[in-house]
Chain A
Amino acid sequence: MAPFAPPLFASLLTEPVGVVHYLVVGAILFTSGVVCMAMKRNALGVLMGIELVLNGANVNFVAFSSPYLQADGAKSLGLDGQAIALFVILLAAAEAAVALAITLNFYNNHATVDVDRADDLKG
């Protein structure tokens, strides 16, 4: 092992990845999506945050269903995880279509895509 390489990074490069590596990626994608949804004022930015959240969930499903990543004796989702990931992708497509139609309608009526201006129903 190279003397200057930090041990964590070196072991990442030489040892097989496991479920927890995928979970970390999924957690980062999910957190980015949640922050994006909460912070963006552009309605399309909020939509992109939703896509990131669904994608992070998909990473976890695929990781739990993958035979390559399982430890010895660990329980696996098998094919079910991949099927659920497919359904999530389909539902994300449907959600994006409707949300985009609503956004375009809002843009036609209010001439803006700022979600802070969508306060017509405010009591």
Chain B
Amino acid sequence: MMPLAALDWHSVFFLLFAALACACAVAVVLAENVVRMALYLVFSLGATAGLFFLAGAEFVGAMQLMIYVGGTLVLLVFGVMLTAQAPFVSIKTAPGDRVLAGVIGAALLAVLLQSAFSVADWRKPAVGREGEPAATPLGMALLGTRVDEAPAGAPPGIRSGYLLPFEIVSVHLLVVLVGAAYLARAKRRRTPRPIEVAASMEPPASLAAHAAAGRESARGGSVLAGGPR
């Protein structure tokens, strides 16, 4: 057994979160049941938030948990629940398509891994520099002012903040949510409901006319008499 003192706990937790994220991502692909896919996706994205914390990006990790896992995935799970009629919970993929997707996925993974290992700078062991808390510099950068240190090797000069992208993203989010609410709104019924028919009718001039109208509608099988719509 390896002595505990020799372990790098940062690496141990990295392996834990990385294995969880990758295994759950593969499970999303392999699962047939859409509810299970949503569950695996929650675990995968949560483990990725753990990886962000380990990389020193604590603000991004917190946002990942709050927006992605807490917001986007809840939205997705609601979508699953709204459409999860029995025949659609698991829609089978043809076996030939599975084989083809596996081959293409393996080829893509080979290319990506080859390019990831091809740069010498990325393969060198990390020196483990201490980072500063990123929340305040990020907030200031979103307001257009940079208070963080320039990274090593960056060209000198004024660095721009993110005020304009921040505004664009916020307006984009507003437009998108209004559009989503418009797209997903309840449809207007083609046949008016009885209460609407009653409200749109002229008030009867006399009691006799009212009775005649009632008899008429009963014979004609109108909406008010409970006939076919």
Q: Which residues of A contact B (CB under 8 A)?
A: 1-2, 5, 10, 12-25, 27-36, 38-42, 44-45, 47-49, 51-52, 55, 58-59, 62-63, 65-79, 82-83, 85-87, 89-98, 100-105, 107-108, 112-114
Contacts and interface: CB of A to CB of B under 8 A. Distances in A.
Given A13-B12, A55-B48, A86-B63, 13 more contacts: A13-B2, A21-B14, A34-B105, A35-B101, A41-B91, A49-B28, A52-B25, A58-B52, A62-B52, A66-B131, A75-B153, A87-B169, A90-B169
A78 B102 contact: no
A2 B18 CA distance: 23
A31 B55 contact: no
A70 B126 contact: yes
A27 B116 contact: yes
A94 to B, nearest CB: 4
B131 A67 contact: yes
B164 to A, nearest CB: 12
Contacts of B102: 35
Contacts of A79: 134, 137-138, 141, 146, 148
Contacts of B104: 34-35, 38
Interface in B1-34: 1-2, 6-8, 10-12, 14-15, 18, 21-22, 25-26, 28-29, 34
Interface residues of B, number: 100
Nearest to B135: A82
B184 A100 contact: yes
A42 B18 contact: no
Interface stretch (B38-46, B188-196, B198-206, B212-220): B38-46
A101 B141 CA distance: 33
A75 B41 contact: no
Given A34-B108, A62-B60, A67 B124 contact: no
B25 A94 contact: no
A12 B15 contact: yes
Given A18-B122, A74-B122, A103 B79 contact: yes
B172 to A, nearest CB: 6
A68 B131 contact: yes
26 contacts: A5-B2, A12-B11, A18-B124, A21-B14, A35-B105, A39-B29, A42-B91, A44-B34, A45-B34, A47-B76, A52-B25, A52-B28, A58-B48, A59-B48, A68-B131, A71-B124, A72-B127, A74-B121, A86-B60, A91-B172, A93-B67, A96-B76, A101-B183, A104-B82, A107-B83, A112-B88
A97 B48 CA distance: 21
